[in-house]
Amino acid sequence: MLLLVGLGNPGPKYEKNRHNIGYMAVDEIVRRHSFGAWRARFQALTAEGKIADSRILAIKPTTFMNESGRAVGAAMRFFKLAPADVIVIYDELDLVPGKVRVRRGGGLAGHNGLRSIDAHIGNDFRRVRVGIGHPGSKQRVQGHVLSDFAKAELPVMSRVIDAIADAAPILIEGDDGAFMSRVALQVFPPPPKPARPDDVAPPRENDG
């Protein structure tokens, strides 16, 4: 089994905040891959399903962001899993909106959800970092992450969520490079190549 954790804050007040992109992505994975119904356990909402022949427990901690590790740790201990069996999807200030990066371990980058998980299970879990952009100064960070996405950001963030859900089997199989490439192509598709002269059909002669 793998734990697929989406970070966010519970309740309608926070539902569309940038800080809740982890919740949004996990919601779409659960929907797209026909998981079972959400239910409350481990101080979280959880849903079970299968992706790429692996059993998955999707988790949305309901402890608020800075106590996310309590839910992750409880689920991990219950199923006797290791930190390497945990995948966490969360918002990343240091990536532009639409960019997605995956890594195992690493720093906490001031993210309270990661700090809590690290305190409860250690550092060796996989992270799916979803860019939300930086507001430009440290003083504006809290207001930025706890605000809804701007209207201009919504199309790219919708594509990100769809792409993560589409490529979830690649992520579950552990091919992080292929997952990142697939998501990038879907979010930022290359422009169509201009037609070459020999690809253009010659004009037809007028028979009349």
What per-residue confidence (pLDDT) applies to 206? 63
Residue whose entry in the numeric block shows the structure tokens 């860019």: 131
Residue range 92-130, pLDDT digits in tens: 998 999 999 999 877 766 788 889 999 999 899 999 999
What per-residue confidence (pLDDT) applies to 60? 97
Give the total number of structural domains in the chain: 1
Residue whose entry in the numeric block shows the structure tokens 């992109």: 21
What per-residue confidence (pLDDT) applies to 91? 92
> What tokens does 170 get?
């690649």
- Domain-located, residue 139: yes
- Domain-located, residue 184: yes
pTM of the entire structure?
0.88
Burial class (CB in 10 A: 0-12, 13-18, 19+), 101: middle
| SS3 label, residue 127 | strand
The domain in which residue 102 lies consists of 2-190
- Domain-located, residue 197: no
- Domain-located, residue 119: yes
8-state DSSP, 52: T
- Domain-located, residue 203: no
- The reply to whether 120 belongs to the active site is no
Segments of the chain scoring below 50 in pLDDT: none
- Domain-located, residue 173: yes
> What tokens does 140 get?
């504006």
What per-residue confidence (pLDDT) applies to 8? 94
What per-residue confidence (pLDDT) applies to 83? 94
Residue whose entry in the numeric block shows the structure tokens 């201990």: 77
Pick from 6, 103, 117: which is nearest to 56 by CA? Answer: 6
What per-residue confidence (pLDDT) applies to 112? 83
- Domain-located, residue 200: no
Pair type for strands 44-51 and 39-41: antiparallel
- Domain-located, residue 105: yes
The sheet that has 100-104: what strands, in order across it? Answer: 39-41, 44-51, 54-61, 2-6, 86-92, 126-131, 100-104
CATH number of the domain that 122 lies in? 3.40.50.1470
What per-residue confidence (pLDDT) applies to 102? 94
For 8, phi then psi, to 5°, come to 175, -175
What per-residue confidence (pLDDT) applies to 100? 96
Give the Cα separation of 77 and 44 in Å (integer): 14
What per-residue confidence (pLDDT) applies to 2? 96
